[in-house]
Amino acid sequence: MHNILELRHITKEFPGVRALNDVSAAFREGEVHAIVGENGAGKSTLMKVLSGAYVPDSGEIVVNGTSFAHMTPQRAHELHIEIVYQEFNQFATLTVAENIFTGDLKGSALWIDRQGMERETEALFERMQVRIDPKAYVRELSVAEQQLVEIGRAIHRGAKVLVMDEPTAPLTVREVDILFQLVRRLRQEGTTVIYISHRLEEIFALADRVTIMRDGRVVDVRGIEGLTREDLIAGMIGRSISDMFPRRTVTPGEPVFEVRHLWGNGDQDIHFALRKGEILGIAGLVGAGRTELARLLFGADPIEKGEVLMEGRPLRIRTPKDALGAGIAYASEDRKRDGLFLGLPVDRNIASASVGRFCTFGIVNDRKQTAVVKEEIEKLRIATPSLRQLVKNLSGGNQQKIVLAKWLISDVKVVIFDEPTRGIDIGAKQEIYRIMNEMTESGISIIMISSEMEEVLGMSDRILVLYEGRQMGVLEKAAFSQEAVMTLASGYPAGSEQRGTEEMRE
Amino acid sequence: MKKRVGTAAAGIVKRNAIMIILLVMMAFFQIRNPNFLSMSNVITIFRQGACTGILAVGLGIVLVVGGIDLSIGALVSMTSVILGCLTVEQGWPVWAASLLCIVLTTALGLLSGTSIFLTSMPPLIATLGMSNIVQGIAYLAHGGLPVYGIPDSIRELGQGAIGIIPKSVIVWFIMLALGWFLLEKTKLGRNIYAVGSNEEAARLSGIHTFQIKTFCYSICGFFAGIAGVVMTGRLNSGQTTAGGTLYIDALTACVIGGISMSGGEGKLPKTIIGVVIMTALSNGMIAIGLNSYVQLAVKGSLMIAAVGFDSYQRLKKTGKA
């Protein structure tokens, strides 16, 4: 088998980060080649280099023996390199067929051959063995169907190399199955599939070879035979899990925050009690209703029925202001959208949720604010040249610390973290974990939503697992295991691990 | 090496673009009209700029919160006519008539802000519509005719001076100081910047975005009312077109002064430079005999250039990230 695509010594730097450091990788014709690595390992950057979205600082890309200094989206298309992104590039208000044919609509300048496109789309879907109506509007499709349309478009364009970025992240177990079958069929037809994922089960189920990345470098390239889970993890993290997470030093105390039979936002009958100083992990697949739960508790979306109690007293939460008043804070998964004021300086960001603290008669006492903010910056070791630095100029890890600082000074009792370490590098991650630990030591309770299995298992005292808006169970520390969480997250009741795991693999 | 010198020079030009424009313009007008930089003409420029400056304070606050208000020119016109009618024809005392006008413009601002927030329609359209309504009221109030015989106290405010400093300029600077204090020193101001920078994050930080936004539109109406009273004094009459296209001047002045159209950024005191540029431009163009139609076209072009430059800078910044 010859190499259809090769990356040679690719380096790409961003201000302050070497996202790719002398990366070389070769992809053979008709193989499923997995690229694995933690968040921030450089997988996505590598993909963007392949798609032509980024121009590498040095290195070359060799396609079928022809060398290029960099790709452009146009060139990638001509060379039949197609990419299915995590965020789909689709036109929600157009039909499935029109989306498939984006860029080369059938027909003449004045007249579009709608029926022809629909016929061809149908034929394409038949080949893929999926059932989607070509006339449907993309906005009406489920996430899984949208993804299949995206893959269909790539096949329609004659993909020889298909790059998929975390394709199963939004899918349910059954949908993952359909996707896997499709990927295997593509491989049979001689398509090279580059499969980016951090879900290890999938890699064992699909891949022929694996490239492991860490901190912008390629650590190892291995055939799947003889490879173990432990090898992969060791390669990805570069150390064993036990070093990654600080030891939990807090013994959770009395229940402080209780949620009783809560409904709303698609979530049904959520019921738990959070203890003082506890970290309650919330696990589940994308779309299981985790963020929805957080938004309910924080008053960002309306509660339909059920009770929320703080220290035994029932709360009326209708707006985020109510929630904050009761001592509940929310650090969203998209900190740039929901948590930070990127165009404002560090001090204003940290003080934004507690300006009132520094005010007399509505007038801000800058000195008081500066003192508190400075203390927090030192405590959390936020690396910033000054208090006046604009937050958009800081790294992801420091930005996340600013969100933490914002809540720390605002006198909260419960903090809901949604994907607290998304998109930040490993060193900063460990610091975030350390800060979370310190928060619980000072009596704050934490609800932590996370998609990273290691993180949920490593940081939580208990884990609540959601599946399609329903609470599948709460795992105690003694019952923690990746299998137990995955079983519940896939919609199987506790105790059916065996069946769940089998389903995952096939 | 040559390239490096080039980019360094480009950097200097970019950072000081405003001052360079101002200097080139001054030089040009000074050559064409030797009186341009005389003491008396400079004072005239400030006097002419006072109303624009007061409007820019209110508009600046709305821009910082992430909105825009195009109705401020019409609000000035309406204030002028109604103030004229009330004082000349109804015999109201000046203070009461002024107060009523300012309350009215503030209320109209509140109405704009509320409708924008409740429907989430584009503020550009909402305030453009409001501008037409208000201009209509300005015409209706006195049958489209000007009101003459304005009380002396109002005329004094627009035309008089303490020493060599025009009273209207004093009003401008007091308003500017008020606006500056509000934005920089109060909790309200902090929240205005927060909402303008990221409305969702502000909401999730427990800030009442509705209150903040409607407050900004209201205070913008308030400043437009003040500007209307000063303008009436300067024109020594109630004019249906007193405000006219002042919103162009005020908007351009804000943007030249570094207040971003996309919210959350900018400092009010810098609008002084923008106001001076805009007014000096009018003043200079009149002195060299360009008619008002040409002036309008020139100002429109400058507005597009300023806003375009602001947006382009932003595009480049986000493109890099």
Query: A318 to chain B nearest CA, in Å?
Result: 11
Which of B243, B237, B244, B241 shows the shortest CA–CA distance to B85? Answer: B237
Q: What is the pLDDT of residue B23?
A: 83
Q: What is the pLDDT of residue B318?
A: 55
Provide CATH code, domain A253-505.
3.40.50.300
Q: What is the pLDDT of residues B114-150, one digit of tens each?
A: 999 999 899 999 999 999 999 999 999 999 899 999 9
Q: What is the pLDDT of residue A502?
A: 41
Put simply, the chain B residues between 196 and 235 with a CB less than 8 A from any chain A CB are 197-198, 200-208
Residues in chain B: 321
What is the rounded distance in angstroms from the CA atom of residue A435 to the CA atom of residue A405?
A: 10
Q: Is the confidence at residue B2, as pLDDT, over 50? A: no
What are the extents of the domains in chain A?
Answer: 3-243, 253-505
What is the rounded distance in angstroms from the CA atom of residue A99 to the CA atom of residue A40?
A: 31
Q: What is the pLDDT of residue A425?
A: 67
Q: A3-243: which CATH topology?
A: Rossmann fold (3.40.50)
What is the rounded distance in angstroms from the CA atom of residue A487 to the CA atom of residue A3?
A: 38
Domain that holds residue B127: 50-320
Question: What is the average pLDDT value for chain B, to the nearest integer?
Answer: 90
What is the rounded distance in angstroms from the CA atom of residue B168 to the CA atom of residue B173?
A: 9
Tell me the residue ranges of DSSP E strands in A322-457.
Answer: 328-331, 359-360, 363-364, 414-418, 445-449
| Residue B45 within any structural domain of the chain | no
What is the rounded distance in angstroms from the CA atom of residue B281 to the CA atom of residue B20?
A: 14
CA distances from B249 to A214, B171, B252, B270 (A): 55, 18, 5, 14
What is the rounded distance in angstroms from the CA atom of residue A269 to the CA atom of residue A469?
A: 9
Question: A355 and B190 in contact by Cβ < 8 A?
Answer: yes
Q: What are the tokens at B308?
A: 């375009």
Residues in chain B with CB shorter than 8 Å from the CB of A363 are 185-187
Name the residue among A338, A351, A352 with its Cβ closest to that of B200. A338
Residues in chain A with CB shorter than 8 Å from the CB of B265 are 343
Residues in chain B with CB shorter than 8 Å from the CB of A368 are none
Query: Any CB–CB contact under 8 A between B316 and chain A?
Result: no
Residues in chain A with CB shorter than 8 Å from the CB of B189 are 364
Per-residue pLDDT of chain A (506 residues; tens, 9 = 90+): 688 999 999 999 876 667 898 999 999 999 999 998 876 678 888 888 988 888 999 999 999 889 999 888 888 888 999 988 766 777 888 889 888 888 777 777 777 788 888 998 999 888 888 888 999 898 888 877 888 888 888 888 888 999 998 887 777 767 788 889 889 999 998 999 999 876 777 888 899 999 998 888 898 898 988 888 778 877 877 765 556 777 777 888 899 999 999 998 888 899 999 999 999 999 987 778 888 999 999 988 889 999 999 998 999 988 888 998 899 999 888 888 888 999 899 999 999 988 888 888 889 988 999 999 999 999 888 888 888 888 988 877 888 899 989 988 888 899 999 988 877 766 778 888 988 998 899 889 999 998 888 888 889 999 999 988 889 989 998 888 887 888 888 777 766 544 434 444 33
In 10 A of CB A12, how many CB atoms?
A: 23
How many structural domains compose chain B?
1
Residue B175's CATH number: 1.10.3470
Q: What is the pLDDT of residue A40?
A: 67
A5 close to A63: Cβ distance less than 8 angstroms: yes
First to last CA, chain B: 27
Question: B201 and A340 in contact by Cβ < 8 A?
Answer: yes
Residue A275's φ and ψ, nearest 5 degrees, are -95, 160
Query: B281 to chain A nearest CA, in Å?
Result: 32
| Residue B164 within any structural domain of the chain | yes
Region of residue B88 (left: phi > 0; alpha: psi -120 to 50; beta: else): alpha
The residue assigned the tokens 């229940």 is A255
In 10 A of CB B308, how many CB atoms?
A: 11
Query: B257 to chain A nearest CA, in Å?
Result: 17
Q: What is the pLDDT of residues B65-99, one digit of tens each?
A: 999 999 999 999 999 999 999 999 999 999 999 99
| Residue B298 within any structural domain of the chain | yes
Q: What is the pLDDT of residue B100?
A: 97
Q: What is the mean pLDDT of residues B248-277?
A: 92
Residue B234's φ and ψ, nearest 5 degrees, are -65, -40
Mutate to test the interface with B, among A301, A336, A355, A400 (most CBs of B within 10 A): A355
Which residues pair with residue A192 across a beta bridge?
A161
Domains A3-243 and A253-505 share a fold: yes
Return the sign of the alpha-carbon dihedral for residues A500, A451, A254, A414. negative
**B158 or A493, which is more confident:** B158
Name the residue among B185, B193, B260 with its Cβ closest to that of A348. B193
- What is the 3-class SS of A206-270, one letter each residue? HCCEEEEEECCEEEEEEECCCCCHHHHHHHHHCCCHHHHCCCCCCCCCCEEEEEEEEEECCEEEE
DSSP assignment of A481-493 equals -HHHHHHHHTTPP
